[in-house]
């Protein structure tokens, strides 16, 4: 094979062999390129199918912040409502004046609150004695007033220390009169009454006895006005 034999020159045969060899090499080279392309194509497809690190989003990765939080420029801040106008404070009603008692009318009746009543006594008396007691009416108002001072409206009563009634000025010798007076401011009127030193009951039906020694209390009355207690002793 190295020494071609034929009617042509040896150079022609060498050129034909080189041409055939080049074709073989070209064919072999093309096949190898096809194989390499097939191999590289498969790997490229696999690479394309697989997510590229750092480029494709991993479904387990959290979404980007700008995709979750909207831009502040796109968020509309609600405008706060305008404050309601202040309503004028209600006018404070003036407190109702306290009920003031009406001033007494000059020359009108002397009410119980316009007079003072007290019983005056000598303070003590001997058993069986006849001391004099005074029922005193005083106009304590600032104006003159009129008061009925009839005898039947007057009374002085004596009690023991336990509050038991022992004597009354109207029990046995009641009196009657027609006595209406105008009392000036500060004016006092005294009505004397003599006590016989004995006990009595209303109507004077019970036996009267001499009151024994002891500490007692005198109390006066003018119609509906009552006095305070005045101490009195029988010795």
Domain ranges of the chain: 1-47, 112-234
pLDDT per residue over 107-141, tens digit each? 899 999 999 999 999 999 999 999 999 999 999 99
Q: Are 138 and 116 in contact (CB under 8 A)?
A: yes
Question: Residue 165 CB: number of other CB atoms within 10 A?
Answer: 15
pLDDT at position 97 is 59
Q: Is the pTM of this model over 0.85?
A: no
CATH no., domain 112-234: 2.60.40.2360
CA distance 218 to 200: 14
Residue 80 sits at the vertex; the CA angle it makes with 79 and 81, to the nearest 5 degrees, is 110
pLDDT at position 183 is 97
Question: Residue 46 CB: number of other CB atoms within 10 A?
Answer: 9
- With a cut of 50, list the residues of the chain below it in pLDDT: 43, 45-51, 53-57, 59, 65, 68-69, 72
């Amino acid at each position: 094979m190295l020494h071609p034999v034929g009617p042509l020159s040896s150079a022609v045969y060498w050129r034909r062999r080189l041409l055939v060899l080049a074709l073989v090499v070209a064919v072999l080279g093309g096949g190898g390129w096809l194989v390499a392309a097939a191999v590289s194509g498969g790997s490229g497809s696999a690479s394309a199918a697989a997510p590229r690190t750092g480029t494709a989003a991993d479904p387990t990765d959290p979404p980007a912040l700008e995709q979750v939080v909207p831009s502040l420029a796109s968020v509309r801040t609600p405008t706060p409502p305008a404050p309601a106008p202040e309503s004028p404070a209600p006018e404070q009603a003036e407190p109702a004046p306290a009920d003031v008692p009406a001033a007494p009318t000059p020359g009108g009746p002397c009410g119980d609150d316009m007079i003072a009543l007290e019983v005056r006594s000598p303070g003590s008396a001997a058993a069986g004695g006849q001391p004099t007691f005074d029922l005193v009416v005083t106009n304590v108002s600032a104006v003159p007033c009129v008061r009925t001072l009839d005898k039947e409206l007057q009374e002085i009563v004596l009690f023991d220390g336990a509050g038991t009634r022992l004597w009354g000025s109207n029990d046995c010798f009641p009196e009657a009169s027609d006595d209406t007076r105008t009392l000036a401011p500060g004016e006092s009127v005294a009505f004397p009454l003599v006590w016989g030193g004995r006990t009595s009951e209303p109507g004077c039906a019970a036996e009267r006895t001499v009151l024994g020694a002891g500490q007692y209390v005198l109390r006066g009355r003018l119609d509906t006005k009552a006095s305070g207690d005045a101490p009195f002793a029988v010795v």
